[in-house]
Amino acid sequence: MKGLTQYLYQIKLDKAALWCYLIWYLVMLYFYFDPSLKIWINSVGISVVIGTGLLLSVSSNNVEKRDYWQIFRLYLMPFCVSSFSALIKDQGFIVVISPKIEENLIAVLCCVVFLGIVLTVKLTKNKIA
């Protein structure tokens, strides 16, 4: 638990935004999940191709300082984008906004709760330590 608290205390706005992207994806995945293997196999394939291209574009010769979380994100993002686009096809979405207000409110609420937890950790960390 200490590691999680430390992570949340040190998290910067850019990483918090990425977590909110993931939260939004997971909420919409909950509402629009499709068990079709074709969607998930295609998403994995796109992830491998695009993730490898992204990895090559940011790679340096310094193999010792690999950031494995960054590598994971470089493959996760294309997977999420491709599966998301397949799941919401013909569902009436405007970019990433669901046509159902309740779904959007739940996603926003989950992001707000996450950001509230981050803020609480940042404000109380010094008092606890």
Instruction: Give the tens place of pLDDT for each residue, 5-45.
Output: 999 999 999 999 999 999 999 999 999 999 999 999 999 99
Domain residue extents for the chain: 2-128
Structure confidence by residue, pLDDT tens digits, 81-95: 999 999 999 999 999
Please tell me the pTM assigned to this model.
Answer: 0.87
Residue 129 Cα distances to 2, 7, 17, 66, angstroms: 11, 15, 26, 31
Q: d(Cα 118, Cα 126) in Å, to the nearest integer?
A: 14
